[in-house]
């Protein structure tokens, strides 16, 4: 995969996304969590419904970060396992 140019909008987006995630999880009881971008996959709304946990308070939708992360990890591991089986 070709690395994006330093001033590309993709690189800027990824930097913002990773920093936003770091800020969101900064106050958890595990401050030594480090986030690394190891690949990209464009999810569909159907994919996201599998792991995204939200609740609505009046007209505001809030995401349950820790629960969503746990389900995302499970989704990624299942997807990787299926991909590995397909490659064999």
Count CA atoms within 13 Å of residue 34 on its CB side: 2
Q: What are phi and psi of 61, to 5 degrees?
A: -100, 125
* Confidence at residue 49, expressed as pLDDT on a 0 to 100 scale: 87
Give the global pTM.
0.55
pLDDT at 1 over 60: no
Q: Residues 36-58, buried b or exposed e (16+ Cβ, 10 A)?
A: eeeeeeeeeeeeeeebbeeeeee
Per-residue pLDDT tens digits for 50-80: 888 888 889 988 888 888 888 888 998 998 8
pLDDT exceeds 80 at position 36: no
> pLDDT of 3-18, one tens digit each?
656 666 667 777 777 7
């Amino acid at each position: 995969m070709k690395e994006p140019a330093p001033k590309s909008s993709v690189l800027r987006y990824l930097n913002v996304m990773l920093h936003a995630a770091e800020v969101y999880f900064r106050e958890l009881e595990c401050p030594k969590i480090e986030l690394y971008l190891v690949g990209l996959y464009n999810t569909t709304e159907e994919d996201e419904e599998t792991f995204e946990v939200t609740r609505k308070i009046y007209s505001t939708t809030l995401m349950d970060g820790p629960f969503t992360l746990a389900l995302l990890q499970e989704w990624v591991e299942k997807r990787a396992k299926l991909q590995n089986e397909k490659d064999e």
